[in-house]
Chain A
Amino acid sequence: MSATPPRLELNGISKRYDAVRANDAVDLSVMPGEIHGVLGENGAGKSTLMKIIYGAVHPDAGEVRWDGRTVRVASPREARALGIAMVFQHFALFDALTVTENVWLGLEAALSRKEVQARVAAVAADFGLELEGDRLVFDLSVGERQRVEILRALLTKPRLLILDEPTSVLTPQAAERLFVMLRRLAADGCSILYISHKLDEVRALCSRATVLRGGRVTGVVVPASESAHSLSELMLGAAPAAVAPVPGTAGVESAPALVVRGLSLPRRERFGVALEGIDLEVRPGEILGIAGISGSGQGELLGALSGEDPRAPAGTVWLLGRDVSRVPARERRAVGLCTVPEERMGRGAVPALSLAANTLLTRREPIALAGFLRWRTARRLAERLIARFGVRAHGAEAVAASLSGGNLQKFIVGREIDAAPKVLVVAQPTWGLDVGAAAQIRGELAALAAHGVAVLVVSEDLDELFELATDLVVMARGRLSPRIPVREARIAQIGQWMSGDFPARTAPAAGVDGGSVGTEQSARG
């Protein structure tokens, strides 16, 4: 018997949702002061497990022990009373309030504003969290907002802090700062559960990690002594397939298929991002990657490209030589532009409708004369997408909401790839996919480009862009950096650009109609 019991111990936790075993006899233990990784692909059961710990979901079976005592965590409130704090992937902050006020709202004890202010300052200084209590959250960068969330969690003096994919919104430099802070917190005795699917992060940060696959524990490891290969094998079961780069066959020299010229748009939503002088062009056979931390204007740019945001002034968006700036979304699609939005549930797909019905969002095959629907065609189309892209679903009649994030992503990306577009704009193409599926999607995108499709990829995952794209631009605060060929790009430089620190762009040389090649254009190897 060891002297100190684990801070948190889970024994045989199981939770079923209908036919899906989200957690199947999961064991996990976290010692005081330990940074414990929870590794697994989306759909592996990480989120369910964390919700069980946090009391938001109740397990069907199993035992939760806290400091050696069996406890039943009935609600998040009880979890907080035990000393469990959670930083969610999606922040719950009020944009119109200051940092202090946001923290204040999250505290359960009745404190005066002054006391809160003092404690915010003290804790922020303690952990090296640079934050000014008087600033409005609206003005903060995503990384700073995350710090507010963490600060809010720290003020409750947690004994276990759960972080859910915290670096997905951070630049590499900001992630490094977060790690420093977490290590300091752990040194003070706080246990940390660090949820991620990024192997290198878990290897750098965690002293132990529990690996989940399909709801079951496939291993408890010391990440530092594992290789990326052995870890991903635990996560995926089989060695991940490497992406076979498809050499481009279409001439990159041809006229650009998608051109944006001097596009500036004031922000549409109160807390959106304004676009400033966006110039870009994508040629057939080319994959242009847009890097940048989320919320830097990517969503706004995508809206203007797809036609969801109809405000683009005439002459700013050109598709296959045609000015489509004022053309609605459906017509742009008819011209040959397909888009995959970042938000899958609710935008890329209607959660309450079947996959067959969801093909109707962007596909016209199931529409018969006089606007009647051919459901059989829609079902067959959905079945084809399911088969071709390995979507795990109970057939074409499964509602979109019943799919895991990764599988829905495969379906949506597949639906657009399958539509045989001439220009494909895709946001976060492999977000939440397991390595195998991600490799397949990347392979499909590369194949599309090889067949002469102009592909624009917006991604927060730099590794993905380096692997996939021919050229890179970085988006920060609504502006685009100069364009740089991927083989000349360096992570450190891109990271610096992501914070908005990049040289002004040279004026684009290529005309909309011309076949002339822009000065920044690189030939493909």
Chain B
Amino acid sequence: MAAPSVSSPPSSGASRLLSARAAALLSPLAALVITVAIGAALFAALGKPPARALAMFFVEPLRDGRALSELLIKATPLAMIALGLAIAFRANVWNIGAEGQFILGAIAATGVVLFAGPGAGRWVVVALLVAGVAGGMIWAAIVAWLRDRFSANEILVSLMLVYVAELLLGYLVYGPWKDPEGFNFPQTITFAEATAIPRLVTGYRANWGSVVALASTACAWLFLYRTYAGFQLEVGGIAPRAAAYAGFSPRRALWTALMISGGLAGLAGALEVAGPLGQLTPHLPVGYGFAAIIVAFVGRLHPIGIVFSSVLMSMFYIGGELSQSRLGLPKALTGVFQGLLLFALLACDALVERRKRR
């Protein structure tokens, strides 16, 4: 007879987010409506016309080709990181440090570019992407190893490794990797043309990274719903005792979940640094790794759902920037919207669950 114990909040949150089938589609939509309503009230309180402000978030990012291209640029890393996180969260592995794995992916990719030098051929793109995956995986492997060997809490370890990654990034761009001709700015040299991720349409910044993200979506879906390994991972997450009964190894699940989520975050980092940025700077991390947690949950931890929620989250990013430049509102609105959406979602899920139980 076990003592009644407090279940860990993340796992009960996950089951709440996963269980209700009807709520699976309804609650994100309801949450979006609530977010928009509160957002409108917020704009009114700030003395801005709500309709015009909301348009910055929900209309402007879709206005033309250039806007759509920018939308894709931000949705791509969000989707890619969120896919990995969804797999990890389904396995009840709480990797909160995708931001750090993203940074390590970018660092590793930059290392390949710098090592290859200015005369490198087109092959370097493949090499830098592989390096990005490896970088993210190594960073996540530290988390997996500490949890496996010492039962260290993966939430704390992965989160703290984000700060280590940021400091490592700072050391590199202020130190050994600083562009000698960069007027002492903390940044690497601008990457050679050959290292750039090919663009989808000339004249627009959107690149083949988005296609890689879509392919990753398909692979994640296949893995989760069509493979025995994915099944084992999911059972380990939602019913650990059933997994033990079936003989599914929790250690293997832990490592698989962290390698997949770390690898995808690293790949996103490599695509970012070799794509829109074209050089490594301290401004690389803009919170994609954290926003992707929300993307994963709003997308119901489902690959297809994540495609949509990543576009939504991308709108929040762009809307925040536009509100700053055109309306003089603080850019922090992006974070406010992200938070509102997550809280509204959790509230909707909790209410739906409660109604169902009665």
Contacts and interface: CB of A to CB of B under 8 A. Distances in A.
Contacts of B231: 357, 360, 373
Given A95-B3, A271-B1, A371 B238 contact: no
A16 to B, nearest CB: 13
A329 B227 contact: no
Interface string B325-358: 0000000000000000000000000000000001
A328 interface: yes
A471 B52 CA distance: 82
Interface in A313-363: 328-333, 339, 341, 343, 346-353, 357, 360-362
Contacts of A357: 231
A387 interface: no
B1 A350 contact: no
A350 B235 contact: yes
A227 B187 CA distance: 90
A351 B226 contact: no
Interface in B240-261: 241-242, 244-249
B18 interface: yes
A229 B316 CA distance: 70
A270 B5 CA distance: 13
A346 B244 CA distance: 10
Contacts of B235: 350, 353, 361
Residue with the highest number of chain A CB atoms closer than 10 Å, among B226, B235, B238, B245: B245
A5 interface: no
Residue with the highest number of chain A CB atoms closer than 10 Å, among B229, B242, B358: B242
Contacts of A7: none
A347 B228 contact: no
A372 B239 contact: no
A325 B295 CA distance: 45
Contact of B4 (A94, A350, A353, A367): A94
Contacts of A91: 1
Interface residues of A, number: 43
A307 B247 contact: yes
A57 B231 CA distance: 34
A343 B245 CA distance: 10
B1 A371 contact: no
Contacts of A352: 15, 18-19, 238-239
A330 B246 contact: yes
B19 A329 contact: no
B245 A57 contact: no
Interface in A154-168: none
Contacts of A307: 247
B227 A346 contact: no
A109 B18 CA distance: 39
Contacts of A371: 227-229
B2 interface: yes
A372 B230 CA distance: 9
Nearest to B15: A352
Given A330-B247, A333-B247, A352-B19, A96 B242 contact: no
B124 to A, nearest CB: 32
A42 B241 CA distance: 24
Q: How large is the interface on B (under 10, 10 to 19, 20 to 34, 35 or more residues)?
A: 20 to 34
B4 A361 contact: no
Interface in B192-230: 226-229
A92 B245 contact: no
A307 B229 CA distance: 20
Contacts of A470: none
B239 A350 contact: yes
Residue with the highest number of chain B CB atoms closer than 10 Å, among A271, A295, A331, A346: A346
A92 B241 contact: no
Contacts of A328: 247, 249
B78 to A, nearest CB: 27
Interface string A268-279: 011100000000
A295 B245 contact: no
Contacts, number: 83
Contacts of B226: 372-373, 375
A65 interface: no
Interface in A353-410: 353, 357, 360-362, 367, 371-373, 375
Contact of B242 (A57, A93, A295, A361): A361
A424 to B, nearest CB: 15
A460 to B, nearest CB: 15
Nearest to A375: B226
Interface string A77-108: 00000000000000111111000000000000
B358 A57 contact: yes
A440 interface: no
A145 interface: yes
Nearest to B358: A58
A96 B247 contact: no
A331 B246 CA distance: 10
Contacts of A362: 246
A308 interface: yes
Contacts of A142: 1
Given A350-B238, A371-B229, A373-B231, A329 B3 contact: no
B239 A343 contact: no
A348 B245 contact: yes
Contacts of A349: 242
A306 interface: yes
Nearest to A329: B247
Interface in B12-27: 15, 18-19
A347 B3 contact: no
A308 B229 contact: no
Contacts of A360: 228, 231, 246
A349 B245 CA distance: 9
Given A95-B3, A271-B1, A367 B228 contact: yes
B245 A306 contact: yes
A470 to B, nearest CB: 27
Nearest to A302: B245
Nearest to A309: B244
A367 B358 CA distance: 39
Contact of A95 (B2, B19, B227, B245): B2
A93 B18 contact: no
Contact of B228 (A306, A339, A373): A373
A329 B246 contact: yes
B242 A92 contact: no
A271 B3 contact: yes
Contacts of A332: 247
A96 B246 CA distance: 31
Contact of A346 (B3, B4, B239, B249): B239
A92 B5 CA distance: 11
Contact of B1 (A95, A306, A339): A95
Given A57-B358, A373-B228, A350 B2 contact: no
A374 to B, nearest CB: 9
B23 to A, nearest CB: 13
Nearest to B3: A95
A347 B241 contact: yes
Interface in A404-460: none
B349 to A, nearest CB: 15
A151 B123 CA distance: 77
Given A95-B3, A348-B245, A350-B239, 7 more contacts: A271-B3, A308-B245, A328-B249, A347-B242, A352-B18, A361-B246, A372-B226
19 contacts: A58-B358, A91-B1, A92-B4, A94-B3, A94-B4, A95-B2, A142-B1, A308-B244, A330-B247, A333-B247, A341-B245, A347-B239, A347-B241, A349-B242, A352-B18, A353-B235, A361-B246, A372-B228, A375-B226
In order of increasing CB-CB distance, the 9 nearest A-B pairs are A329-B247, A330-B247, A361-B246, A350-B239, A347-B241, A95-B3, A371-B228, A350-B242, A308-B244
Interface of A: 57-58, 91-96, 142, 145, 269-271, 295, 306-308, 328-333, 339, 341, 343, 346-353, 357, 360-362, 367, 371-373, 375
